[in-house]
Amino acid sequence: MYPKMANCKTNRRVYVETYGCQMNLADSELVGGILAKEGYAFTSDLETADVALINTCAIRDNAERRIHGRLGLFNAQKRRNPDLVVGILGCMAERLREKFLDQENLVDIVVGPDEYRKLPSLIEHAAGGEKGIAVRLSRVETYDDIEPLRTEGVSAWVSVMRGCDKFCTFCVVPFTRGRERSRPFSTVVEEVRSLAEQGFKDVTLLGQNVNSYADGDHDFADLMRAVADVDRQLRIRFTTSHPQDMSDRLIEAISTTDNICKYIHLPVQSGSDRILTLMNRTYSVDGYLALVEKIRSAIPGVSLTTDTISGFPGETDEDHRLTLALMKAVKYDGAYTFKYSPRERTRAWEMGDIVADELKTARVGEILALQRDLSREINQQFVGRSERILVEGPSKKSAQEYTGRTDTNRTVVFPHVQEQPGEYITVKIARANSATLFGIRA
């Protein structure tokens, strides 16, 4: 996963496994940067590791059971190599520290998302037999001075803000990642400049609620314009945004800057006003549809995707029907569809009115089927068109085929001749299904 490091002071090799969202993947790159500076090397093979870390995500599903299973495997390795230091990082750290560290003795160190700077010393101490915990949240930590350890390639993430103050009632993020804080404007721009110089072609600005970014007088629209100005050959994207913070200034920046991708992930969560209020989402269905209208008229051809949650406490058949109706009205280009997972500490946890799991599954199934039809229909309209794509590399299915992406974030598969990752090419779309466009070099 990580490049091997020469010049290793400690001789220790670290294995990192990452779960969850892009923020978490970016955090693992930060952890890599912090440890690399101390001379650690990295391995993608657990059996050769001296330190095994698991970066956890607590947002949905039975993530805990999965992490438990992985830690079991790490401990089997620890029986073969008693010097192995095992640690959990990230969103689950605070809540599970007692269970995994004291009760079950599954880990040596537990480190929350704002305490990664302590990792080197915690690992040192753990190697000497001392268990360690660092799970405090910070109001200021942004790791602004840490250079993430990225794998080489076409695409890079830049984390520009951390935490979330929105407190949607279903979501554990404000509790596990803490309050919102933004990195300084100038260092983000400098980091993007350095990425462009290193040959990256596609940069995604990341934050749990990225469009509420603020540094002094600079808002997210200013930041997007400034990073887009760094290099016009660089594609700029962002995720993930809250409808409430989708400002006119940001819409204008996307519409008038050619290297800002015409793609917005705009999670709606539900199509029922009653549920949106219970979720504390701060917008109504009409307000959301008006925003979509405004975005579409300002940015012709823009691609819109969403997140939905099925089975929020008290969600009725009628609420679900309203979500399907909203999806048809918007005609999203894509949707991520989740079953509601109760999370301790959130307000929804207290709400009772539990929706049966089979019903959640059935509703998710209906949303997925609808979205598949919508995506197929939309993608069919691309057949015959020419699209400029950024080449990413070999496709998963065949070495003779490469993939690239359009400005609207559609994946295009095409026969490979001599195209190189990072190159822009034009392809003519020959056919399409709900997930992929298939093209030939124009």
> Could you tell which of ligand SF4, ligand 5AD, none binds residue 40, using a CB distance below 5 to 8 A set by kind?
none
Among 72, 167, 296, 400, binds ligand SF4 (CB under 6 A): 167
CB 101 within 8 A of CB 85: no
Which range in 45-53, 123-131, 171-179, 317-325 contacts ligand SF4 by CB under 6 A?
171-179
Nearest distance, CB of residue 172 and ligand 5AD, angstroms: 7
CB 116 within 8 A of CB 143: yes
173 binds ligand SF4 (CB under 6 A): yes
> Could you tell which of ligand SF4, ligand 5AD, none binds residue 401, using a CB distance below 5 to 8 A set by kind?
none
Amino acid letter, 209: N
Say which residue the tokens 């520009």 belong to.
Answer: 160
Residue 240-269 contact track with ligand 5AD, rule CB under 6 A, x = bound: ---------------------------x-x
CB 371 within 8 A of CB 337: yes
Tokens of 320: 């679900």
Task: Tell how far CA 306 is from the center of its chain.
Answer: 13
CB 262 within 8 A of CB 254: yes
Say which residue the tokens 């955090």 belong to.
Answer: 27
What is the per-residue DSSP string for 106-139?
--SEEE-TT-GGGHHHHHHHHHTT--EEE----S
Angle between helices 285-298 and 248-256 (to 10 degrees): 30
> Could you tell which of ligand 5AD, ligand SF4, none binds residue 60, using a CB distance below 5 to 8 A set by kind?
ligand 5AD
> Could you tell which of ligand 5AD, ligand SF4, none binds residue 125, using a CB distance below 5 to 8 A set by kind?
none
Q: Can you tell me the distance from the alpha carbon of 209 to that of 343, in angstroms, rounded to the nearest whole number?
A: 19
Nearest distance, CB of residue 238 and ligand SF4, angstroms: 14
Among 35, 195, 309, 429, binds ligand 5AD (CB under 6 A): 309
360 binds ligand 5AD (CB under 6 A): no
307 binds ligand 5AD (CB under 6 A): yes
DSSP state of 313: T
Task: List residues near ligand SF4 by CB under 6 A.
Answer: 164, 166-168, 171, 173-174, 208-209, 242
Task: List residues near ligand 5AD by CB under 6 A.
Answer: 59-60, 170-171, 267, 269, 307, 309, 338, 340-341, 343
